[in-house]
Structure 1
Amino acid sequence: MVLVKPTLAAAQLRGSLTQYLTTTYALADEDTPLALERFLGDLETGIFRGPYLRIRTPFHPADEGRRAALERQPSFTPWRHQAKAWERLSTYKGTAEPTLVTTGIGSGKTESFLIPVLDHCRRQKSLGRRG
């Protein structure tokens, strides 16, 4: 098994990409390739400012009690952030509140606002109301 240190791998990748980008294009002006190389290689203002460490925390399932914000429950167990959004956005037991949901990709942000909207529409339809 070969172990690779992330910082060394990032430096090697940065070096390879810099070499590729500076040699791929035939830049006639003598100063332009040097400026491009300085831009690509500068750790403060260049294109590569890293390496970056991405820490992704797990999403937590909602407690059963949190699901009571909707009249009709979806068939899946929501994440905690979805259930909190449903509590704020639902009109089932009161007025909806302004809400901003920021979380990772694939975490169900769309369902965070869409489920309360659909719940509201279903309730309004059953009451014979429009809008």
Structure 2
Amino acid sequence: MQPSLIADELRSALTSYLGTTFALADEDVRDRLTGFLTSQDEGIFRGPYVRLRLPFQVADGSWRAALDWAPTGFAPYRHQAEAFTRLSSKHTRPRPTLVTTGTGSGKTESFLIPIIDHCRRHRDTPGVKALILYPDERPGQRPGPPHRGDGRRAWAQRRAGRPLHR
């Protein structure tokens, strides 16, 4: 598995999906969406990406400046701290970031902690604060049937993010 190739495939698939999901009748709005999805400078996909090497090293305390909130007693790895700096909305607009590490290295925390921090900071502002697109299957696994038993209950569980028992 080569992360750069997977990133290109993901970029292409998401661009295609987002470009065709919204059936926009207004040509100007459609062109702006396409521009946002494909622009190298201001679009949804921009580098550089966070790079790291094993073993994972604990970050120094400077990462705290990027966030107003983090779990009590949390000591992030250096790659997480770098992601916090890129993804934080505290001082600047968050930047696209790709973190590729081994199992148990804290990839989820790399993006989730800055999102929670952002949501807490803007909790009094109405509206959606974040949209998380996250696979519910590991790469290479075939997903099971879409539901078991009562299809409505299974659909609601998947929509709520709770896994179905297999």
Give structure 2 stretches of 5+ with no counterpart. 1-52, 129-166
Q: Output aligned runs, 1:9-20, within 5 Å.
A: none
Identify the match of residue 90 of structure 1 among 88, 91, 109.
88
The one-letter code matched in structure 2 to 1:109 is: K
The one-letter code matched in structure 2 to 1:128 is: T
For residue 72 of structure 1, report the CA deviation from its aligned partner.
1.3
For residue 68 of structure 1, report the CA deviation from its aligned partner.
1.4
Aligned to 2:60: 63
RMSD over equivalenced CA pairs, Å: 1.5
Q: Could you tell which deviates more after superposition, 58-67 or 110-119?
A: 58-67
Aligned to 1:122: 120
CA contact (8 A) 1:124 1:130 kept: no
Aligned to 1:103: 101
CA contact (8 A) 1:90 1:120 kept: yes
How many residue pairs get aligned? The number is 75
Could you tell me the TM-score, scaled by structure 1's length?
A: 0.53
Q: Output aligned runs, 1:69-88, within 5 Å.
A: 69-75=66-72, 76-88=74-86
Determine which structure has more spread, i.e. the larger CA radius of gyration: 1
Residue by residue over 1:72-131, the C-alpha shift from the partner in whole angstroms, topping out at 9 and shown as x without a partner, is: 132210000001000000101110001000111100000000000111111111x33322
Sequence identity, in percent? Answer: 57
The one-letter code matched in structure 1 to 2:64 is: R
For residue 58 of structure 1, report the CA deviation from its aligned partner.
1.7
